[in-house]
Amino acid sequence: MCRLCNPARPEKPCPSRRDLLKGSAIGAAAAVTGFGGIGAAQAASHVQSGPPEGAGDPGRRVLIKGGTVMSMDESVGNFATGDVLIEGKRIVEVGTSIDAPDAAVIEADGKIVMPGFIDTHHHQFETALRSQLANGILVNDGRPANASNYYETILGNFAGRYRPEDVYINELFGGISQIDAGVTTVMDVSQIHHSPEHSDAAIEGLQAAGRRGVFGYFEGTGDRLQYPMDARRIKEQYFSSEDQLTTMVMGGEIYIPGYETAWEIGRELGLKIALHVVGTFGMQPTFDALGAAGMFGPDNIFIHMTGMNDDGWRYAADAGAHVSLSVPIEMHMRHGQPPIQRCIDRGMSTSLSTDVECTMTADFFTQMRHFITLQRMWVNEAALNGAEDYPALMQCMDALRHATMGGAEGLGLGSKVGSLTPGKEADIILLDAQAINVAPLNNAPGAVVTLMERNNVDTVMVAGRILKWQGALQGFDVPRLTGELEASRDYLFEAAGIERDLFA
C-alpha cells in the first residue's frame, strides 16, 4: 500500500502507483541536442550512450571532466576548464585536472558546470492550473482589473476542491518539470493541507520526484483541517532524520487567526518559519508589532516583503531573517515593487523564487533575468537623471549567487548544497554552452543569466544521482504523467464551476 492508503507503513511503497507514475528510463542518445551549426556526424561524437551506472550509490565515483566550472564558492574558485569528482552523493574534489582512473567519466566539454538552482517559494499544487490566472492580480483591491485574482479564484475556489490524488500528481509533475529546468531544490508552499491525507500526498509527491524538497506546511480549509497541530505527527513520521532529501518548514501566515500557535509549534520542532509579507495586503501593522516584540529571528523566511516600511525592514534585518523574492510575479500581480535594493543595502540573505505557475513560469532563467534587469533599470535611471550617489549595478555572478547559495542559506541547507564545495552533496547541473542560442561562449555567468533557457539544461544531478541526462528526464513516463495531470485539471475546473476558455 502507498502512504495514502496506509499511513502506518510510510516506508512501504505502492507498486501500482509507482508502476503508473514511473516508466523506464528515456533513451538519452535520441534526446541530445544543442550542437548548434555542426554536422550530425560530429555531434554524434559528443554523445555518451547513457548515464554512468550506479551514480550516487555509496562508493561509486563519477568524474565530470573538462567543463567550464562555476563553483559559487570563492575558496574553491572557477575554472575555464575544470573537473568535479563525486563519490556517492558527495563532491570530493574540484580542480583543473583530476586524476581518478576508477571513476566513470562524464565528458563536459562545451558545458557549464555549476550548482543546481534553488527555488525558495513555489506553490506546486497549482501545476494543473498553469496560466489560468495569466491576467490576474493578487487580491480584489477595489480597483479595475481585479475580478480575477489569486485570493478569490485560486485559494478561495480551486484550492478547496483538491483531493489527495490531485495534490500528488500536481506536486510530482511540478517537481519533475523543474528538474528539467535545472532547479534541484524547492521549498513547496502548498496551501492545500485540508486533511492529514492531503499533507501526506504533498510529501509523497515531493519525494517521488527525486529532487531535494522542503515541505512547507501551510494552511488549508474544511472540517478535516488539522493545521497547525498535525505538524508534530508529520515531523515525526517523515522528517525525523536530518540525512534525507526532503526536510520541513513551518508556514506561519500572520493574516490567519491563530498564527501564534503555528509559530510556537514551528519553534518547538526546530523548524524555520516562512510567511508571505505583503504590505498591500494589510500585514504591516501585525508584522511591525511582531518585530517590535522581538519575535523575529534567523529562522524566519519572509516572502516578498513588498510595501513594507523602514521599521519593518529594520526589525527583519536586525533579526537576520531571510527574504525570498519572486520578482516577475511581484511586478505582474500588483504585490508592489520588488524590494531588491532594500535587501542589498541591508546586506540581507536573499534568494529567488517562482511563486505561482497559474500566472508565471517556474524556470529560473526567467527569475534571474527579471531580478538583474530590474535592479539595473533603477540604477541606470538614477545615473541618467544625474544622481551623484547611486547603488552599484548588479553583476551576473551576483544574480547566480542569489539563485544558488542564497537559496541554500535561506532554507538552512548551506552546509549541504548551493555550491560545488568538497564535502557538500552533488546537486549539479550541466548547461549546454555550444547550443545555437549561446555559442560561442565568451562569459560564463553572462551566458547563463542573459542568454540561456531551460532547453540549455543538459544534465541534472541531485545527491549524485542523475535525474536528467543529455536533455532527457530519467525514469519518468512523461506522456502518462501529463495525462494524469490533465485528468486532475478537468476535475478541478468542473468542481470549481469554471469553464475552460483557451482565449479568455
Rounded CA-CA distance 366/449 in Å is 9
Amino acid in the structure at residue 309: N
pLDDT in tens, 338-389: 999 999 999 999 999 999 999 999 999 999 999 999 999 999 999 999 999 9
Residue 35 binned pLDDT confidence (cut-offs 50, 70, 90): very low
Looking at residue 47, its pLDDT comes to 54
Rounded CA-CA distance 75/73 in Å is 5
Fold of 117-410: TIM Barrel (3.20.20)
How far CA 460 is from CA of 203, 297, 298, in Å, comes to 22, 34, 31
Stretch 82-89: mean pLDDT: 98
b vs e for 99-108, b when ≥16 Cβ sit within 10 Å of the residue's Cβ?
Answer: ebeebbbbeb
pLDDT in tens, 472-481: 999 999 999 9
pLDDT score of 41 more than 60: no
Looking at residue 325, its pLDDT comes to 98
Q: Residue 173: name the closest of 218, 201, 197, 208 by CA.
A: 208
pLDDT score of 27 more than 80: no
Beta bridge partners of 425: 90
Residue 28 binned pLDDT confidence (cut-offs 50, 70, 90): very low
Rounded CA-CA distance 185/241 in Å is 18
How far CA 196 is from CA of 129, 250, 452, in Å, comes to 23, 15, 41
Q: Which cell is 11 given?
A: 516506508
Stretch 209-222: mean pLDDT: 97
Fold of 21-115+421-473: Urease, subunit C; domain 1 (2.30.40)
Looking at residue 214, its pLDDT comes to 98
Give the number of C-alpha atoms closer than 13 A to the C-alpha of residue 263, restricted to the C-beta side. 16
Q: Which contiguous run of DSSP H or E holds residue 239?
A: none
Kindly give the pairing relationship between strand 212-217 and strand 246-251: parallel
Residue 464 binned pLDDT confidence (cut-offs 50, 70, 90): very high
Rounded CA-CA distance 11/244 in Å is 14
Q: Which cell is 176 given?
A: 519533475
Looking at residue 23, its pLDDT comes to 41
- Please say whether the dihedral angle defined by the alpha carbons of residues 431, 432, 438 and 442, taken in this order, is positive or negative: positive
Rounded CA-CA distance 397/417 in Å is 17
Secondary structure (3-state) at 379: helix
Which residues belong to CATH 2.30.40.10 in the chain?
21-115+421-473
Stretch 184-188: mean pLDDT: 98
pLDDT in tens, 134-172: 999 999 888 877 778 999 999 999 999 999 999 999 999
Residue with cell 560564463: 444
Looking at residue 431, its pLDDT comes to 99
Cis ω for the linkage preceding 285 (within 30 of 0): no
Q: Considering the entire predicted model, what is its pTM?
A: 0.91
Cis ω for the linkage preceding 440 (within 30 of 0): yes
Q: Is there a contact between 265 and 250 (Cβ–Cβ < 8 Å)?
A: yes
Residues in contact with 321: Cβ distance below 8 Å, sequence separation at least 6, in sequence order: 296, 297, 298, 300, 301, 302, 348, 349
pLDDT in tens, 256-299: 999 999 999 999 999 999 999 998 788 999 999 999 999 999 99
Rounded CA-CA distance 327/400 in Å is 15
Q: Which cell is 472 given?
A: 532527457
196-209 and 231-238 helices cross at what angle (nearest 10)?
A: 30
Rounded CA-CA distance 319/307 in Å is 19
Q: Is there a contact between 131 and 173 (Cβ–Cβ < 8 Å)?
A: no
Q: What is the mean pLDDT of the chain?
A: 91
